[in-house]
Structure 1
Amino acid sequence: MSNAGKSTQEMGFDSSLTNRFRDSLSCDNKPDFKELDLNSPVSPLMAARPSVNCNGATTTSSSSSSSSGSVSGKPSSKKHHHSGELSASSETSPSRSAPAVRNIKPGHRRSVSAGPPLIYAGGSFSNGGGGGGRSGGASSGNSATSSSSSSLSSSASSSAANLFPSGNICPSGKILKAGMGSRAASKTDVLGSGTGNYGHGNIMRGGGVREGNSGGKSASSDPEEVKKAGNECYRRGNFAEALAMYDRAISLSPENAAYRSNRAAALTALGRLGEAVRECEEAVRLEPSYGRAHQRLASLYLRFGQVENARCHLCFPGQQPDQSEVQKLKSLEKHLKQCADARKLGDWKGVLRESDVALATGAESSPQLFACKAEALLKLHQLEDAELCLSNIHKLEDYPSSCLQTKFLGMVVEAYVLFVRAQVDMALGRFENAVAAAEKAGLIDYSNLEVARTLNNVKMVARARSRGNDLFSSGRFAEACSAYGEGLEHDSSNSVLYCNRAVCWSKLGVWEKSVEDCNRALKIQPNYIKALLLRAVSNARLDRWAEAVRDYEVLRRERPGDSEVAESLHRAQVALKKSCGEGVHNKKFDGEVEEVSSLDKFKAAILSPCVSVVHFKAASNELCEEISPFINMLCVRYPSVKFFKVDVEESVAVAKAESIRTVPTFKIYKNGDKLKEMIRPNHQFLEESVRNCTL
C-alpha cells in the first residue's frame, strides 16, 4: 500500500521526534566524525550520546554503562613530537606508544548512536558500507512501508534502539526516521581502529579490523598515522616499507624531529649509515634537546670511528649516557692512539694489529681505519691484501661530510683515504689513477706535508715511467734504463719500475743486472708473474739451471695451460740433468714419446707411481699418424706425465694382453691401476683426460 499523502501521525511517528530532527537541522554547527581513543575502546552501544542545541550547549545522555569513550571537543594545542618514536632500548624493536587523539575542528563533532550505525545508500538503509548494502536496505524499506498502522505505532514506542539522536543525516540530506531500521545484516559492522587501510571511525564488514598493506597506510594525510604504520613495519623487520612510511610522514610534516630520527633507524637497518647520520643531524637541528637523536647519532659516529663527534652526542648535557657505548668509545680511543704511535715509529705490524682491533671494537664502517690498515699492508709488501682492504671503503660521497672532514693522523680523513689509494695504485702500476687520487688529496688537504710529498713523488714516478716506456719503444734500451732509475729515486719500492728496467737489461744482454732487478721486484711483490718469468729466462742464460727450473715450476703451477712455460720447464730440466752428469739416454726429455715393445717393459712402465699414458697405435693407420704430433706436444706440456707408445702390429703380445682391437686407443695408468680408456678420442677430450688425471 502506498504511504503518499499520509501524515506522520497516521504513519505512527511521534511528532516530537520529528520536531527534534527539525531543531537539530537549524543549528549552525554540524557534527563531524570524532576519533575514538584506542587506549579506551568503547562500543557504539556503550558510548555517550552528545547532542548540540541551537544555543551551542552540549547535553549528554548515557546508558547505564561508563562513557569513558567520549572525547572533549576542545581543540588541543599540545604538540606530540615523540608519540610513536622508536624505542631507545632497541634499534630493531621500537616500543608501541599511545596513539594521539585528533583535534576536533570547531563545528565538527560526531554523535554516536546506539546500535549498529546506519548508512544511507541510494534511497535505502543498510547496516554496512560497500555495494552489498544497497539491496538489503531497499528490502528493509519496502517491508517497513507495507506494515500495518498498529505495527508502525508499536515500533515507534518500542525500545530506544530504533531512536536516532539528533545529527544523524544521510548523505542525500534526508533525515533518518524511527521505525525505518533495516533488516539485520548477516555480518556485524564495527568501527575500524585506524591501524589498517581505514582511519578511526570507518565502518567495516565482518566484525574485525582490517590491517591492509603499507600502500593503503601511506595514503593517510595524518603524519602520526603514517608514522605508526612505519613503526609497525619496522617491528616486523620490513625496513624498506618502514622507510617509505617515514618518508611519507616527513613530506607531510618536514619539521618533526621524531620522524627524522625514525627514518635514521630504518636507514641504519638497511646499512645506509651515511644517510642515517644526516637524518639524525637534521633531527638535532630541528630539536637540539632531542635526547634519542643524540644517542643514535653517537652510536653511528662510533661505527664511523669518529671518537670526538661521538663523545659530543653521547655525553650530551641533561641525559644519561649508555655505559656500554661509553666503554666502546674509550676502547676505540685507546687503540686509535696506539695505532698513531706505531705509525710514527714505522712499526707497520703494530699499525696493522691496532687497526684490526679498532675495527673489531665497533668502528667497522670507518673509512680511515680501513685506509690505515691498507697502508700498513702496503708497507709490508702485501699489495693484493692492501687493495682488498681498500675495497671495503664505499664511495666517499656516501659518507657524511661530518665524518670526512675530521682529522686522522694529522690529515683530513677524505684526503688520507685518497693519499693511501694513490700509493697502492702506484705500486700496482696504475700510475694515471695514482696521480688523479694524489691530486685530489692535495686539493682537499693542501697544507699537509705528507700529502704534498706523496703528490710530488707520484707525479715524478709517473713521468719517469712514461719517458722510459717511450724510449724502450724506440729501441733506446740504455736510456730507458736510466729513465726507470730516475723514477726509482722517488719511489724505491716500485716493483713495476724494477721489472721494466730488468727487461731493458735483458735486451742489452746484461743478464746479471736483469736478475738483480727481478729479485728486487719479487721481494716487493712475490707473485709478480712477469718478473718471475724474466728471472727464469735470465738465469737460464747464465746457465743457472736449478734456479731456472725452480721459477718455471712455480710458473707451471700458476699457469697450467701455458704450453710455452711447459716447454721451457722441460728444456731447463734436461739441461739441469746434463749439467749434473746424469744419463738421459733411457728417458725421453726431448719432447718425444718413449716406445715400448715387450710385455715386461710395458708392465714396468704402467707400475710407475706417476701418471702414465699409453698410446696403442699402428704405423699403417692414418688416424694414429695424425694424432702422434699432438701426443708429442702433450709430452712437453705435461712434463710430470710419462707418455708411451705401443705398435700393436709389432708388439702383438702387449696388444693381446690389453685386448686392443681398435687403434688409436689410449689408456691412462697410475701405480699399475687403469684410470681411463679412450678409443679414437679427439684432441680436446684427450688433453682434458690427461689433465684431470694429474690433479
Structure 2
Amino acid sequence: KVLTSPSDGPIMAALKQLLHDCFHSLMEAEGFKEQGNAFYVKKDYAEAFNYYTKAIDMCPKNPSYYGNRAATLMMLYRYREALEDSQQAVRLDSTFMKGHLREGKCHLSLGNAMAAKRCFQRVLELESDNSQAQQELKNAESILEYERMAEIGFEKRDFRMVVFCMDRALDLSSACHRFKILKSECLALLGQYPEAQSVASDILRMDSTNADALYVRGLCLYYEDCIDKAVQFFVQALRMAPDHDKARLACRNAKALKAKKEEGNKAFKDGNYESAYELYSDALTIDPNNIKTNAKLYCNRATVGSKLKKLDQAIEDCTKAIKLDEIYVKAYLRRAQCYMETEQYDEAVRDYEKVYQTEKTKEHKHLLKNAQLELKKSKRKDYYKVLGVDKNATEDEIKKAYRKRALLHHPDRHSSASPEEQKEEEKKFKEVGEAFSVLSDPKKKSRYDSGQDLEDDGMNMGDFDANNIFKAFFGGPGGFSFEASGPGNFFFQFG
C-alpha cells in the first residue's frame, strides 16, 4: 500500500498515487486471471474467456494473459482469434514458449503448416528437448507431405487419393477451409454429391462469401444436371472473387452445355434426326466430367440413333449412359428396346429385369414378360424361317412355300448325294414338314405364335414323320414320284 505524508510535494504525491493505481490494477488483473483459470479448469471456456479479457483490459502488456485467452479460444474452436492473441503474446515476449506453441497449433489447425513449422522450430531453439514441439513439428511435416501428395493426385485426376490425403490432413488441421474445399471438390468430381454439398454448405454457414465453397456448391448442382441453379452459384462466386478461374470455366461450360442440349432437343422434336444426332454429339465434347448430363445426352443420342435405324450405335450409346449412371432406368429401357429389335432377347430380358427390380410397375412387368416370351420363342425352331415366309403369311402363301421347300429337300431328290448331304437334306425335309404341320393348323399356329409348348397338344416332334405330311399334301401313295431322266437329273410326275 502506498502512503503519502504532508511533507510530500505534488510530484511525489502524484508518483505515489500512480504506483498505487498500477499495483491495484495488477492485483485486480491477477484476480481476473485466477478466476479465468478456475473456469478453464471447469471447462467453462466462455466464462474463462470473459475473465481473461478483463485481465487484459486491466493489464494489456502481460503476454501470459494473451496466452491464456488464446488457449481458451482454441478450446472454443475460434482459431483465428486465438492466433491473434498468440502472436500478440510473443510480440510482448519473444521467449514466451507457450505463446510460440499456441501460435504454431493455431497455424496447424488452420492448415498453414509452413508457418506452424517455423513456430515449433522457434520453440526448439529455446528448449531443444521440448517433446510437444517435436511432435507438433512432425505433424506439420506430415501435413506438408499430404498436401504434396494431394497436388500430384489432383493433376493425375486421382480424386480418391486427394480425398484420402485431405482426410488425413484434416485430422490435424480440423479448421482448414482450404482442405475441406479441396476434399469437397474431389467428392463432387467422384459423383458423391450429397457429401460434397454438405462440406461446402458447412463452410458457407460460417462464411457466406467464401468463393471456393460457392463454386463447389454450384459444381454439385451442375453435375446433378441442375444447370440453371448451378450458374447462379458460379456467378455469385465470381462476384466474390472475379479471378476465380474454375468458377469461370464451369459457368461457361454450364451455359454451353445447356444451349447445345436444348438445340438437340428442338431438332429432335422437329423430326430433324440427323441434326439432333450431331448436336448431341457436340454437347458430349463440352465437359467429360459432367457424368449425369452426359448420361442423358448419350441416351438422347441413342433415341435418335434408333430412329435412324442405327441400332448397334444406339445400343452402344445406352451402354455408355449406363456406365455413367448405373441406375438410369430410361437408358436400360432404350437399350432393351433396341435389343428386342435386333432379336437379342437374352440381353433384352436382362435389361428389363434390371428395370423391374428398380421400378416395379405394371408397364415394366409387361415389357419383361414380353421379352421373356420372345426369348422362349427364339430358342425354338423358327418355322417361318424354315418355310421362308413372313410371320403374317396367308394360308395360301404357307402352302406354296411348303410345296417349294418340300420338293427341294425331299430325300429321293438327293439319292445320289453323299451320305452326309443326304442326312442334311433329310433333316431339312423333316423341318419343312414340322413347320407346315404347325403353321397350316390354326390352333397350333396360334399356340406357336403365343410361345406356348406344342407338346401340350400331344405333338411330339421327336417322333414326327415328314413323309406322312408330304403324302397327304401331294395326294397320298402313288400320287407323286421322282423319276430319273439322266444322272443327277430329276423331274416330278403326278398321278
Query: Which bin holds the TM-score, normalised by the shorter protein?
Result: 0.5 to 0.7
Aligned partner of 2:317 among 517, 520, 528: 517
Contact preservation (8 Å) 2:150, 2:166: yes
Deviations 1:581-611 (CA, angstroms, capped at 9, x unpaired): 39xxxxxxxxxxxxxxxxxxxxxxxxxxxxx
Task: Give the secondary structure class of the aligned counterpart of 1:490.
Answer: coil
Compute the displacement of 1:324 (Å).
1.0
1:328 corresponds to 2:328: no
Corresponding position of 1:664: none
Corresponding position of 1:75: 20
Corresponding position of 2:115: 309
Q: Which has the higher helix share?
A: 2
Structure 1: which amino acid aligns with 2:178? Q
Corresponding position of 2:261: 465
Contact preservation (8 Å) 2:184, 2:200: no
Contact preservation (8 Å) 1:297, 1:310: yes
Distance 1:297 1:398 in 2: 26
Contact preservation (8 Å) 2:71, 2:82: no
Aligned partner of 2:173 among 357, 363, 366: 363
1:281 corresponds to 2:87: no
Distance 2:57 2:202 in 1: 28
Deviations 1:242-298 (CA, angstroms, capped at 9, x unpaired): 45666777888899876665555445434xx3x331343255358734644543342
1:570 corresponds to 2:369: yes
Task: Give the secondary structure class of the aligned counterpart of 2:20.
Answer: coil
Alignment of structure 1 residues 613-652 onto 2, 5 Å: none
Size of the aligned set, in residue pairs, is 361
Contact preservation (8 Å) 2:185, 2:196: no
Alignment of structure 1 residues 421-460 onto 2, 5 Å: 421-442=217-238, 452-460=248-256
1:506 corresponds to 2:323: no
Aligned partner of 2:105 among 272, 294, 299: 299
- Change beyond 3 A, Cα 1:504–1:397: closer
TM-score for the superposition, normalised by structure 1: 0.43
Task: Give the secondary structure class of the aligned counterpart of 1:526.
Answer: coil
Contact preservation (8 Å) 1:549, 1:569: yes
Contact preservation (8 Å) 1:355, 1:373: yes
Contact preservation (8 Å) 1:556, 1:562: yes
- Change beyond 3 A, Cα 1:371–1:467: farther
Corresponding position of 1:212: none
1:237 corresponds to 2:43: yes
- Change beyond 3 A, Cα 1:283–1:484: same
Distance 2:66 2:336 in 1: 64
Compute the displacement of 1:549 (Å).
2.7
- Structure 2's unaligned 5+ residue stretches are 9-16, 382-495
Deviations 1:598-654 (CA, angstroms, capped at 9, x unpaired): xxxxxxxxxxxxxxxxxxxxxxxxxxxxxxxxxxxxxxxxxxxxxxxxxxxxxxxxx
- Structure 1's unaligned 5+ residue stretches are 1-33, 35-51, 58-71, 81-99, 103-222, 405-413, 583-695
Compute the displacement of 1:328 (Å).
0.4
Compute the displacement of 1:490 (Å).
1.5
Compute the displacement of 1:460 (Å).
1.8
Task: Give the secondary structure class of the aligned counterpart of 1:383.
Answer: coil
- Change beyond 3 A, Cα 1:504–1:448: closer
- Change beyond 3 A, Cα 1:54–1:339: closer
Percent of aligned positions that are identical: 23
Deviations 1:158-197 (CA, angstroms, capped at 9, x unpaired): xxxxxxxxxxxxxxxxxxxxxxxxxxxxxxxxxxxxxxxx
Contact preservation (8 Å) 2:33, 2:55: yes
Task: Give the secondary structure class of the aligned counterpart of 2:299.
Answer: helix
Corresponding position of 1:531: 331
Distance 2:50 2:332 in 1: 56
Compute the displacement of 1:75 (Å).
1.6
- Change beyond 3 A, Cα 1:77–1:225: closer
Corresponding position of 1:548: 348
Compute the displacement of 1:429 (Å).
1.0
- Change beyond 3 A, Cα 1:276–1:262: farther
Structure 1: which amino acid aligns with 2:335? R
- Change beyond 3 A, Cα 1:391–1:476: farther
Distance 2:41 2:377 in 1: 77
Contact preservation (8 Å) 1:549, 1:572: yes
Q: Which has the higher strand share?
A: 1
Corresponding position of 1:342: 153
Aligned CA RMSD, in angstroms, stands at 4.6
Distance 1:420 1:515 in 2: 34
Deviates more, 1:423-432 or 1:469-478: 469-478
Compute the displacement of 1:323 (Å).
1.2
Compute the displacement of 1:338 (Å).
2.4
Contact preservation (8 Å) 1:277, 1:400: no
- Change beyond 3 A, Cα 1:283–1:517: same
Structure 1: which amino acid aligns with 2:299? A
- Change beyond 3 A, Cα 1:517–1:309: farther
Distance 1:260 1:397 in 2: 30
Structure 1: which amino acid aligns with 2:231? V
Aligned partner of 1:388 among 195, 200, 210: 195
Corresponding position of 1:605: none
Deviations 1:377-403 (CA, angstroms, capped at 9, x unpaired): 555xx312x5414523454456689xx
Structure 2: which amino acid aligns with 1:344? E
- Change beyond 3 A, Cα 1:373–1:54: closer
Structure 1: which amino acid aligns with 2:20? P
Structure 2: which amino acid aligns with 1:333? L
Deviations 1:220-240 (CA, angstroms, capped at 9, x unpaired): xxx765554444333223445
Distance 1:225 1:556 in 2: 75
- Change beyond 3 A, Cα 1:483–1:53: closer
- Higher relative CO (Cα under 8 Å, sequence separation at least 6) belongs to 1
Compute the displacement of 1:527 (Å).
3.4
Distance 1:248 1:228 in 2: 11
